[in-house]
Amino acid sequence: MSEQPSGPPTGPPTGPTRLPPRGPMFMRDEYQNLIDEFTKDVKAELKNEVESLILVGSVVTKEHIAGESDCDFLIVLKDKAGGDNLEKTMENISKVVAHYLEDPLYSSLLDVEVLTSGEVPKDGETTDYPWTRVLVAQMGKSLIGKNPFEKIKIKDEDIKTSAKEMAAMFLKQMVEIPKLTEEEADDYEKLYLTVDAVLGCGCAYLYYNEEKEFYRSSAIILFEDKYKGKINIEPIQISHRLRLASKSVNTDKFAQKALKFCKEVVKQLT
């Protein structure tokens, strides 16, 4: 199972919950600065543990939404860094990550996923790692080492299965949002989670329909060009405008529309 390091290391790597970014506060240069600095630190501090460091997501192709999109890194560990050494390895990674999570310039941008070498899917073998995420990793940019995902062969039926699971997961998230107390999430955070669920289900829908080269930030283009008559794309349009921090977005009954959209996606995919 992949690991998510966060916060200062105190035993097993844990830390404070990452709050969602609150609007386009940063210029694109902040992303490049983060990429350069994080890569340098991984090379210097984690050279014995890290086989590959891959930049993934919309930042790779500059399609990200400044201040809103995450800057996503995928770390693949060397064989010797896993197994009995995994806990110590994760503590070392968390020391590096903590530096950025404590910096207000980067804390809401950085997202790091860690895989052991054995968790990287192999041709002809089953895997617990979602095939939709393999697609994203294949489009990634190697910052250290080689990208082990580049030459993996992905079957269409595996993508469809993974897309169904992805849609079901985000529908579950959508259903749970109204149950959150004020202590667990304020109105802004609930709206953030709603947008996240809509875009997650939307991406699952596109993957199922054999769309491969897109990101959350660019999914709106595919929906408006190809899928207007197949599903109500209004929740996708609203979500996209909210991510752009548009001041003219009508969010009246958005939660109900979002839930209906997610249910329709799951229905069409089953």
The two beta strands, 110-115 and 50-56, are unpaired
Q: What is the pLDDT of residues 40-93, one digit of tens each?
A: 999 999 999 999 999 999 999 999 998 889 999 999 999 999 999 999 999 999
User: In the prediction, which pLDDT does 13 show?
Assistant: 44
Domains of the chain by residue range: 29-144, 156-269
User: In the prediction, which pLDDT does 33 show?
Assistant: 95
Low-confidence ranges of the chain (pLDDT < 50): 6-17, 22-28
Cβ-contact 3, 172 below 8 angstroms: no
pTM: 0.85
Those residues with Cβ within 8 angstroms of residue 106's Cβ, 6 or more apart along the chain or in another chain:
30, 34, 71, 100
Angle between helices 187-208 and 219-226 (to 10 degrees): 60
Q: What is the pLDDT of residues 13-31, one digit of tens each?
A: 444 445 555 444 444 479 9
Cβ-contact 2, 115 below 8 angstroms: yes
**Alpha-carbon gap, residue 226 to 181, rounded angstroms:** 38
Both tokens of 59, joined, read 């930042």
**Alpha-carbon gap, residue 9 to 13, rounded angstroms:** 5
Domain 29-144 CATH class label: alpha beta
